Structure 1
């Protein structure tokens, strides 16, 4: 195994970061300073040290995290709380998020130290499906749904969105569903205006443009007030994992994702 790969998969840092550590003489192999990241080592028998401490090989890890709203998808931020606030820093140096979710979006977020896995999952040509559940102000008729499913323009200078899948779950007036909508504060709804139309449903896309789901539904005349990612590919969010909690993916889940990729 390459030395940089060993360190990246042992929670020392991302592949690019550990290469810098190696070149700067921070790593020893069997007591000797090594400055070549591509050197082959035996992870079972060689003794690897980083800053004088022996590195234990942990291997590739894959986490399912149920992201709550109000946290940004980043390692650090000077203003906002991040998803990494829920993890033990000591175990997460080499772990990074796969894609991202908006600050106010909840649901399935994957984290890993496997760069190849991240690349394949996020590579546009792989067309990996990502499904979101939404509540929105407005309504969706058959023409709106057809337009969304065929592809629409969501921004100046942008190409047509790739075909999506839409499944309307509920539609009607706010007064009918206000107790079902998992939103603490709806500033855009007058509490006395119970005839405000609302709609909920699932939308599946294969891209990852900035605020894409919100922008797509906005073009269709809907203002998203709640958004939750429920699946990536064939991997469903485990609803037993509470918001702000995480677990390792099972071998079956990992295998299924890799088969899709």
Structure 2
């Protein structure tokens, strides 16, 4: 037997409406459980077995959800914002109203972002003690050379007296605008941009490719998302 949840909470948790709205739907006979109309909002359901329909739409209960998002520029890494669209608003198929982004990407940064409502997993991935690697692809104004590789590997002291852990810098193309991949092990505010500023260069474009064992699906268009596979989730939780 699975966990028991009130019918009104079950529906509200799965995004069918607010608690007061779903109570009204229930009273109007729009909800069936096991093929029978139910009008008791406080009916306790076994979430592992319940067959719940709202009108003709099946409402399956998912306590935890995990989405990989290819974040586009111009969208903020937040749950709500008065002025800009948020990454959570891009997850149109999300059932839970308590989804949030795991960590932040700057508004103008693209790439991998995990959206979930699993607070325990988020805490493990973001904990400073875990040193979860994050890899970015970047366009850099200025020629990146081997000296920069050495400096990044040695750790860079930023202006707030914070010194980064050794970072891995790989030069893909050197020139007036260089193309690089950089892996860092913290998640400080604007960290990659600040690290390149510290060596006299400027980040023109930034895209996150991976976070821990989670790698951006190259088939996801900007703004696209999908649920994590069981294998991806197991690796993250491993």
Of 217, 220, 234 in structure 2, the residue corresponding to residue 238 of structure 1 is 217
Shift of 1:149: 1.3
**Map 1:136-175 → 2, pairs under 5 A:** 136-156=140-160, 158-172=161-175
Could you list the per-position Cα deviations for residues 159-202 of structure 1 after superposition, in whole angstroms to 9, with x for gaps in the alignment? 21111111010012xxxxxxxxxxxxxxxxxxxxxxxx221110
Of 181, 185, 195 in structure 2, the residue corresponding to residue 206 of structure 1 is 185
**What is the aligned length?**
203
Q: Structure 2: where are the runs of 5+ without partners?
A: 20-40, 51-58
Is 1:225 matched up with 2:226? no
Shift of 1:45: 6.9
> Structure with the greater relative contact order (CA < 8 A, sep ≥ 6): 1 or 2?
1
Q: TM-score normalized by structure 2?
A: 0.76
Shift of 1:111: 0.5
**Map 1:95-174 → 2, pairs under 5 A:** 95-156=99-160, 158-172=161-175
CA distance in 2, matches of 1:211, 1:118: 20
CA distance in 2, matches of 1:90, 1:230: 23
* Equivalent position SS for 1:93: coil
* Equivalent position SS for 2:129: helix
Q: TM-score normalized by structure 1?
A: 0.70
Of 230, 234, 237 in structure 2, the residue corresponding to residue 251 of structure 1 is 230
Could you list the per-position Cα deviations for residues 213-249 of structure 1 after superposition, in whole angstroms to 9, with x for gaps in the alignment? 0000111111000000001112210010111110001
Q: Structure 1: where are the runs of 5+ without partners?
A: 13-17, 19-27, 32-40, 47-54, 173-196
Question: 1:98 touches 1:118 (CA, 8 Å); kept in 2?
Answer: yes
